[in-house]
Amino acid sequence: MDATRPPLTAGRPIVFSDLDRTLFFSLNALYLDGEDADAPALRVAEIHEGRPIAYITVAAHELLGDLAATHHFVPVTTRTSAQYRRMLIPGPLPRYAITGNGGTILRDGVVDGDWTARIDAILACSAAPLEEIARELRREEFAVWMLRLRDAEKRFLYAVVDRTAITAEVLDGLTDWCHERGWAVSLQGRKLYCVPHGITKHDALAEVALRLGGGPTLAAGDSLLDQGMLLAADRALRPAHGELESTGFTHGKLTVTTGRGVRAGEEIVRGMRSWADAASPSDC
């Protein structure tokens, strides 16, 4: 891995991007429509238990590596730090990364203890305990659609679900119940996330942007958990798939890709690089 990283210069543009279904895609999320011969060349982006499970186009991989070497690139994910470290992100080790939906900031790959303590203090007085939410999710009537339930570093919960068995009525009811207790619900593919309101990607974005010199920001993401981040950034990108596409989310600073799936991911990387180049101070 190239160790070169952009200098810590005030005013440099900062690119924040969600990872899953924004830049990297599982086999079921590739959306390789059209003729097989026209499909883009792919590169493995994640290996788990000896198997490749996520992909990025070869062109996007090269562009992302170049972006990370010349501009501030901050990966942002709802994954735990351990899950994040499985991802094969091109370019130098990011100076900062945001994991756990904003609950953890990694600085040079190491958990930032000050941020962790701040989040713990916020959660102690703003959200129902994780155990209370877990008990609700383990209700007998939910067993028909909830296949596995896990906690993420004791901060939030996620479950693998059967999308065909969970109804809109049940999902809306769970969302309302959690909201009353200071938690948010997000359904992304086959995963259902329950996250305290006090853990957000946009709060972590603001903190990291300040640490990196307060330059202009761009954010990219596809899910409801990314919405605040997209609103907070100076510019935003989202793919034409995912939760935000389903809800029709848009605003004046947002650009939506023309493609979807892994092609949308390449579009997003190209857009990030183009914006970062244009937003860079002339003396960088």
The reported pLDDT for the residue numbered 236 is 98
| pLDDT tens, the chain, 284 aa long | 445 677 666 689 999 999 999 999 999 999 998 899 999 999 999 999 999 999 999 999 999 999 999 999 999 999 999 999 999 999 999 999 999 999 999 999 999 999 999 999 999 999 999 999 999 999 999 999 999 999 999 999 999 999 999 999 999 999 999 999 999 999 988 899 999 999 999 999 999 999 999 999 999 999 999 999 999 999 999 999 999 999 999 999 999 999 999 999 999 999 999 999 999 986 54
CA dihedral (235, 68, 31, 222) positive or negative: negative
- Kindly report the CATH number assigned to the domain that includes residue 158: 3.30.1360
The pLDDT assigned to 2 comes to 43
Pick the closest to residue 207 from 271, 119, 281, 123 (CA basis): 119
pLDDT number for residue 169: 96
Q: What letter would DSSP give residue 41?
A: P
Dist. CA 103–CA 246, nearest whole Å:
26
Residue type, 152: A
Helix (H, G, I), strand (E, B) or coil at 117: helix
Length of the chain: 284
Domain boundary among 143, 175, 196: 196
284 lies in some domain: no
**pLDDT of amino acid 188:** 84
- Are 25 and 114 found together in one domain? yes
Answer yes or no: are the C-beta atoms of 269 and 3 closer than 8 Å.
no
Query: Are 217 and 16 a contacting pair, CB within 8 Å?
Result: yes
Q: Are residues 97 and 29 part of one domain?
A: yes
Is residue 134 located within the same domain as residue 275?
A: no
Statement to judge: residues 190 and 272 lie in one domain: no
Q: Rounded CA gap, 236 and 87, in Å?
A: 23
Q: What does the alpha-carbon distance between residue 82 and residue 272 come to, in Å, rounded to a whole number?
A: 26
- Domain annotation covers residue 1: no
How many domains are contained in the chain? Answer: 2
pLDDT of residue 281: 82
Q: Are residues 44 and 64 in the same domain?
A: yes
pTM: predicted TM-score of the whole model, two decimal places: 0.91
136 by DSSP, 3-state: which?
A: helix
**Nearest Cα to Cα of residue 227 among 102, 66, 97:** 102
Q: Which amino acid belongs to residue 78? A: T
Shared domain for 253 and 185, answered yes or no, is: no
Same domain? For 105 and 236 the reply is yes
Is 114 in the same domain as 247?
A: yes
CATH classification of the domain holding 76: 3.40.50.1000
2, part of any domain: no
Q: Are residues 221 and 153 in the same domain?
A: no
| Same-domain status, 115 and 142 | no
Q: Is residue 44 part of a domain?
A: yes
CB atoms near residue 48 (< 10 Å): 11
* 205 and 239 in a common domain: yes
Domain range for 140: 128-196
238, 273 in Cβ contact below 8 A?
no
Name the strands in the sheet holding 191-196, side by side, starting at the edge strand that comes first in the sequence. Answer: 146-152, 156-161, 191-196, 183-188
* 173 within some domain: yes
User: Which pLDDT belongs to residue 1?
Assistant: 40
Residue at 3 is within a domain: no
CA distance 60 to 267: 8
Domain boundary at 149, 179, 196, which? 196
104 and 178 in a single domain? The answer is no
106 - beta bridge partners?
97, 111
